Structure 1
Amino acid sequence: MTRHEVYDAVVAGGGPAGAVAALVLARAGRHVAIVDDPPAPAAGSHKVGESLPSAAAPLLRDLNLWPDGTAAPHLRSTGMYVSWGSPALHERGPVQDPYGAGWQLDRLRFDAFLREAAHAAGAEPLRGRAVDAVDEGPGLRLLVRQEHGTRELRCAWAVDATGRRAALARRRAIRRREDRLVAAHVLMPRQNPSTGGEPDQEARTVVEAVPGGWWYTTLTPAGRIVAHLTDPDLADPRLRTPDGFLRAALRTRYIGARLTAGDLAGPPVPRWSAAHGLRLEPYGGRGWIAAGDAALAFDPLSSQGILTALHSGARAGLAAALCLAGAPPRPVLASYTDFLDGVAAAYARHHAEAYAAETRWSQLPFWHRRRALHQGAGQGTRDWGVLSV
């Protein structure tokens, strides 16, 4: 084994949570690696989870990532139109946010910016996919799948930022799933004036409830994202085809109206992503800590996923750095747990209020399931189902 395979800490996952955790650890003077397998840039590639509330600005400043992290080509959010609870379309502007307007991100670009900041601070990039961790007395042995085999890394602390799959934590904790929400989504490229089309300029997000779930569309630097949120057993199989997805979008009252002639000419093949809420119990243990969606994932209706990923990544990195410096792990992890429990409680309240506000189809499966989920939430008895390994 070479010396480069032994680290103070290894961060598994290079999204916002993992990149920020690695950044904090590297700035604390720790020998840290960040294991990630980012997709190769490709025409039409995109990543959903594009809304960043303006409340992220103070943290980005504290991390010295401001203003570059949200500079052009990322777009400032100009508000939201919502058809929820009634057929009418209501405007919600950034003036309702105490921090002002947020951003609509090119997620691939934003994530790459954060990883580059971590690398510049000294975090060593390792290409691969973390698949498991084995206890080795003091410390862990991480198994990383690479193109030509499996590599083993040893570290005193590991940060699991592998998203909902929680590759390192899943054998050490219980994953509790809120529901089975999935998103079918496409990216409609912005029209190029040189080809005769007008560029899409409508930057307001539109959210529209429908009998079987809800839709949203928003403009990002890469193009217009159109997504339908529903449960897998309720999803129309035709949503898997470009024509079927487009026809479903055009049957809505407001989402279809945002599509341009260029969007109608050749829609891409829809992609599917998990969108269910998920909570890990516990969030950390001996030698490991989870951050981002691995620890706490949200329904996209909250628009809080990236913000929570950034905060949990920073706090997880700090927690690991403190433990590496000799702080007792138990109170450090307890403080981290208190923070995430507070975030989870606030999310649960807002989630219940949002879905309770839509009463037009309360007896239909999608909406009935959400109301049932929140029965008793006021008494703290919300049911999060256990997700098997």
Structure 2
Amino acid sequence: MTEPAEPETFDVVVVGGGPAGATAATDLARMGRRVLLLDRNGRIKPCGGAVPPRLIRDFAIPDELIVARIRSARMISPAEKRVDMPVGDGFVGMVDREHFDPWLRRRASLAGAEQRNGTFERVSREAGTTRVHYRADGAEHRVRARLVMGADGASSPVGRAEIPGHAGMRQVFAYHEIVRRPESGGDYEGSRCDVFYQGKLSPDFYAWIFPHGDTISVGTGSAHKGFSLRSAIRALRASTGLDAGVTVRREGAPLPLKPLKRWDNGRDVLLTGDAAGIVAPASGEGIYYAMLGGRLAAEAADAFLRTGDARALAQARRRFMKLHGRVFLILRMMQWVWYRNDGLRERFVSICRDKDVQQLTWDAYMNKELVRAKPAAHARIFFKDLAHLFRWVSP
């Protein structure tokens, strides 16, 4: 294929077609911007797939993408103690990224974004013009862009090339296996998420069994490079009877542990999603935050394109952290306090029996807002946390 003498020009080239990139591309196209959505074909991110009602509502997700409706979560301690946390009214939706992400990309295309399969290679600049170079069909291609948006994962090639300090982003590696639901047996329920806080399954995170209708996501994660995630999943499947299910696919990828201090280069590059580090600590939740990050990035990009002022790009991070920075800080502290060893994990699961903890946890998760209207409940939780942390009570 011969490149044209003058490359095509886009307002924004979005690199990465996951929830963040596809949402940003959709919103920008709806704003009337000319958008190229560049994505690697066939990549599926390992993900439990939980989506709160807030996401389903805010991003107009149709019912057919919800493969399961979760009514409770079960926490399993190192000593195999089980604590059930009913959702109450409503449900937590589950999606399968194999189908969810392509649907988001199709929505972006229907909104007017141009989608191409290709691998980002580099950004070059010449005479004030920004060019994006990518490889597709065995050849290098290039297009011009007023803005490059990196939504290409925790190890973002865009971020590593363009944002100082990105290569030093702390990460946890996640791995899961999608398993066909066994015809009989198996310790799981189709409307319950199981979360295992056990050092043998993850020394610093957790393992999970999340139902997806006809299939099940069985996964874990760890920042410890010497820990065998595959062995942990093999043991978890064997102990729960899920080794009888056929393995549909296996997926692994890094997840960021903390939002980057800067998401833009002050010129012509802006990051969002995992590339910007917006995955919730402790829980690893990323879909809602990725889609919100994509939306905020699109709005910042539109402001930059309207004004030509690169300072507008910083509003994406500023607005996100104003909304969720406090939640991320609390979750990061919680992970540091409770995930360090099995003794603390045992106490953490014990705390989850508390009805105040359960109600405030679900209220915050379902609506993505800290509950401020119940100061007495917050105070009770604080003192119960202290009692368990200093071992004044038995787990």
Instruction: Please name the residue that 1:248 is paired with.
Output: 235
Instruction: Please name the residue that 1:13 is paired with.
Output: 16
User: Conserved in 1, the CA contact under 8 Å of 2:338 and 2:344?
Assistant: no
Q: Shift of residue 26 of structure 1?
A: 0.7
CA distance in 1, matches of 2:309, 2:45: 41
2:174 counterpart of 1:183? yes
2:208 counterpart of 1:216? yes
Residues 56-81 of structure 1 show CA distances to partners (whole Å, capped at 9, x for unaligned) of 13421xxxxx242x435522222211
Instruction: Please name the residue that 1:206 is paired with.
Output: 194
CA distance in 1, matches of 2:157, 2:26: 21
State the secondary structure of the residue aligned to 1:90: strand
User: Conserved in 2, the CA contact under 8 Å of 1:180 and 1:232?
Assistant: no
Unaligned runs of 5+ in 2: 346-395
Instruction: Please name the residue that 2:351 is paired with.
Output: none
Instruction: Please name the residue that 2:393 is paired with.
Output: none
1:338 to 307, 314, 318: 318
CA distance in 2, matches of 1:313, 1:348: 21
1:357 to 338, 350, 354: 338
1:279 to 250, 259, 273: 259
State the secondary structure of the residue aligned to 2:116: strand
How many residues in Structure 1 have an aligned counterpart in Structure 2? 336
State the secondary structure of the residue aligned to 1:275: strand
Q: Shift of residue 219 of structure 1?
A: 0.7
2:34 counterpart of 1:37? no
TM-score (norm 1): 0.76
Instruction: Please name the residue that 1:77 is paired with.
Output: 70
CA distance in 2, matches of 1:221, 1:334: 40
State the secondary structure of the residue aligned to 1:18: helix
State the secondary structure of the residue aligned to 1:71: helix
User: Conserved in 2, the CA contact under 8 Å of 1:316 and 1:336?
Assistant: yes
Identity %: 22
Residues 248-285 of structure 1 show CA distances to partners (whole Å, capped at 9, x for unaligned) of 2157xxxx33x34xx42655675432234143342112
Q: Shift of residue 155 of structure 1?
A: 0.7
C-alpha distance 309-229 of structure 1, shift in aligned 2 (>3 A): same
CA distance in 1, matches of 2:146, 2:237: 53
CA distance in 1, matches of 2:234, 2:150: 40
Matching of residues 1-389 of structure 1 within 5 Å: 1=4, 5-39=8-42, 47-60=46-59, 66-68=60-62, 70-84=63-77, 87-95=80-88, 100-173=90-163, 174-175=165-166, 179-191=170-182, 202-212=190-200, 213=202, 214-221=206-213, 223-236=215-228, 240=230, 244=231, 247-249=234-236, 256-257=239-240, 259-260=241-242, 263-264=243-244, 267=247, 270-284=250-264, 285-298=266-279, 301-326=282-307, 328-330=309-311, 332-342=312-322, 343-358=324-339, 360-361=341-342
Q: Shift of residue 141 of structure 1?
A: 0.7
Q: Shift of residue 183 of structure 1?
A: 2.4
Q: Shift of residue 181 of structure 1?
A: 2.3
CA distance in 1, matches of 2:80, 2:309: 55
State the secondary structure of the residue aligned to 2:161: coil
Q: Shift of residue 180 of structure 1?
A: 4.5
C-alpha distance 297-67 of structure 1, shift in aligned 2 (>3 A): closer
Amino acid across the alignment from 1:273: A
CA distance in 2, matches of 1:349, 1:16: 24
CA distance in 2, matches of 1:85, 1:351: 21
> What is the aligned-residue RMSD (CA, Å)?
3.2
C-alpha distance 120-186 of structure 1, shift in aligned 2 (>3 A): same
